[in-house]
Each structure stands twice: as structure tokens, then as C-alpha cells.
Amino acid sequence: MTLSLAIVGSLSACGSLVPTRSGGAAPITQVPGYSQGAPVPEGPSLLRAKARWVQAAWSDMPGWQADRLGEWWPALVKGCVKPAAGWQALCDEARRLGPDWGQRVGDDFVRQWVETQLQPWRVTSLEGQASGLLTGYFEPLLEGRRTPDARFAWPLHRPPAGLGQRKPFFSRAELESTPEGRAAIAGREVVWLADPLDVLLIQVQGSGRVRLLDELSPQGNPKVVRLAFAGHNDQPYQSVARWLVDQGAFTLEQASWPAIRNWAQANPARVGEMMAANPRVVFFREEPLTAPSSGPNGAQGVPLTPGRSIAVDRDSVPLGTPVWLDSTMPQTWVAGGMPPASPLRRLAMAQDTGGAILGAVRADFFWGWGDEALAQAGRTKQPLAMWVLWPRSAP
């Protein structure tokens, strides 16, 4: 399981009931400026378990000639470490050319390589629905310590020794308040955080980076480590945003990550009660951050690339497949209303999955890490058209 729950997605699931990696469903909100993609062509098609691929032309893909494919190429090479079925020969060539080949030869030369080797297919549902939904996720970047103090008093834990022997395992409240629960996680602390909302953030997201303020790198800066998903307590996930709405803290329309933080700051005595509303606890393993420019491993088992990796339903799109996205950039309100929508049209790699990334035309866009990525992920709820690119020599 990797990055299985997007915190802002789960808030959206409460606020607007939009499909997210953590569940929920709603009609897709149409965004002004979205092209709806080209009309679905008639012609040969391929069937997947949950999708129909209809043969298309390069001219059907809005914005195809404008994408900076040299930036996409390294994500392809990463994915070729574990190639999809039918990709072995092309992946051998991509690895031989190397991850910097795209930057060396330029976008147009990469485009020529892609058009020569691959065939575009428009993705639709089995019933022919060609529009879907794009959401976003990210990797939190938090501050922590190896040892607790008066400020850093909220731990993240390694998996308890008996985690697999008892299902479900102790709930969040039981781990914190019962002798048996406390004993199960005693001495299993990985790092300590300063804010219980940061604990919630990384547990819901499933992975994160932590800047250790009491451990320095050889360069004298705080060491940054990655905490990767290592299991959970098999308790059901419950949205704290949903709980807060039920408590009257705000309305469904107002539910957001900033709204949760504001409520917690105004009601510090009730934060524990809010946290206990979500009985699921995620456990972590520490990994060295050997490649700071790469994200955590996705479900394909390769590092995610910000802006070029997506999560998909593998019954619709095999992991390791290039996917052309036609959507719009997330927007924020400004004085006078919403600004005109700008296109988000680019080639990405299907390298991850999610428990609620389900259906044919459905993708979760990996924005990266840190505060800006959090903000972008929280605003991403866009209509989507998508095409897969498949080797011409493969069935």
C-alpha cells in the first residue's frame, strides 16, 4: 500500500462527496475552459476489465505538440525498471538511452520517438463514457525530533510486533488509553512531531518526509528522512472532517484542511476527541532520502515524479503506461471571482494506485511534497479526458 489516502481528498469526500483515494462519489464539477477532449473516434478498440480503449490519432489529443516531453522522459525511464507487459523491448531502449536523453535531444525529438513507437488510444468506460475526474495528492514535509520534548510530543510508530496476529488491531483510542494498547506501541516510536494535525496528515496520506531538528546531516543541516507506509491497524478510516461537520464546526461546503486546523487551534482541549474519531492508525518504516528530487515508491515499485506520475485504476490502465491528460489547472478564488481556467495537458506515467481511484477515466495527480504541493492537491478536482500510449508492436 502506497500513499493510499490523500488528506485533502478525504476532506473533499466530506465537503463535496467527490471520489477520492479514500472513497466517496459525486457528479463531476465542470470547469470553464475545459475542452472536454476531442470527440471519441470510431474505430478499433481494446477491452480492459473496466475500460475500453478506442484507437485515436495524435491530433485528437489537445495540446500534444506543446508538452515539454524532455521533462517526462526521466519518469518513463524510472518506470522501465519494472516494465508493463508488452513494454520490454521499448524499455530496454529507453534505459539504454538514459534518463537525461530527453533533455539532451530536446522535446521535439522525444515527441518523434514517441509517435514512432507508440499508438494513442482514447480511454472510455465500457459504456462509452469519455469524461472523468482528476484529483491530486502529495507527500507531506514535516518537522520532527528523534526524542520528545515539551513541544514535540506526538509520536509516529513502527508496526507493533503483534500487528498481523490480531485483526482488527487496537483502535487509535485503545492504543492511547488502554494498558494493552499502550504496551503494544511502547518503544516503537520513529519520530516525534509537534502537532497532532501533522500526525493526522501523514497517517492519512500514508507517507511523508520529516526534517529532524535534532539530527544533522554531514553538511550541518537538519537530516531529512522519508517515512514510508508499513501497515495499519485494520480499523476503518473515518474522515475527521465529516466528524467536525456532524459536530457543527462548519458546513459541508466549508470543509477543508485549513478549516480543520483553525478549529483545532480554537479548541485544543477537543483535539484528542477529534483524532479518536478516526480509529485507523498507520505505521511507518524509515527510509533514507537518497534521491530528494524523487517521490516515494508508488504501487509500480518505482519512485514517483512530481507532475509526471499519476495513480490510476490498474483494471483500466496497466501500471507503467504513459497517459495523456487533458484537464485544467486547479484554481483559487481571487478578488472578482474565479480567474479563467488554464489547461493542464501533459504526458504522465501511471505508476501508482489508490483505494478510491476507481474507474476508466480517473487519475490522481502527484504534485510532489511540501506546502505548495499540499495546496495544489487540495485544489485539484477537475474534469478529465485521457489517452493511453501503447507500443505499436504490443497486443
Give the strand order in the sheet containing 189-193: 154-157, 189-193, 141-145, 208-216, 222-232, 282-288
CA distance 240 to 277: 6
pTM of the predicted model as reported, rounded to 2 decimal places: 0.80
Closest CA to 52 of 316, 355, 308, 259: 316
How many other CB atoms are found less than 10 A from the CB of residue 392? Answer: 10
- Residue 259: which residues within 8 A CB-CB, separation 6 or more? 241, 244, 249, 250
Residue 26's pLDDT is 32
Amino acid at site 322: P
Amino acid at site 287: E
- Residue 48: which residues within 8 A CB-CB, separation 6 or more? 315, 316, 317, 360
Residue 336's pLDDT is 57
Residue 371's pLDDT is 87
How many other CB atoms are found less than 10 A from the CB of residue 11? Answer: 26
Residue 21's pLDDT is 35
The DSSP letter of residue 204 is H
Q: DSSP 3-state assignment of 194?
A: coil
Tens digits of pLDDT across the chain (395 residues): 333 334 434 443 332 222 233 333 333 334 434 455 666 767 799 999 999 999 999 999 999 999 999 999 999 999 999 999 999 999 999 999 999 999 999 999 999 999 999 999 999 999 999 999 999 999 999 999 999 999 999 999 999 998 989 999 999 999 999 999 999 999 999 999 999 999 999 998 888 999 999 999 888 899 999 999 899 999 998 989 999 999 999 998 888 888 999 999 999 999 999 999 999 999 999 988 888 888 999 999 999 999 999 999 999 999 999 999 999 988 765 555 556 678 999 999 999 998 779 999 999 999 999 889 988 988 888 999 999 999 997 76
The three three-digit cell numbers of residue 68, written as one number: 515539454
The H or E element spanning position 132 is strand 132-139
Residue 27's pLDDT is 34
Burial degree of 43 (CB within 10 A; 0-12, 13-18, 19+): exposed
Closest CA to 48 of 268, 314, 326, 331: 314
Residue 39's pLDDT is 67
Residue 232's pLDDT is 94
Largest distance between two CA atoms of the chain: 66
The residue whose grid cell reads 507487459 is 85
The three three-digit cell numbers of residue 368, written as one number: 510532489
Torsion of CA 299, 301, 303, 308, to 10 degrees: -50
Q: DSSP 3-state assignment of 227?
A: strand
Domains in the chain, ordered, with CATH?
27-134+293-391 (2.40.40.10), 138-288 (2.40.240.50)
The DSSP letter of residue 292 is T
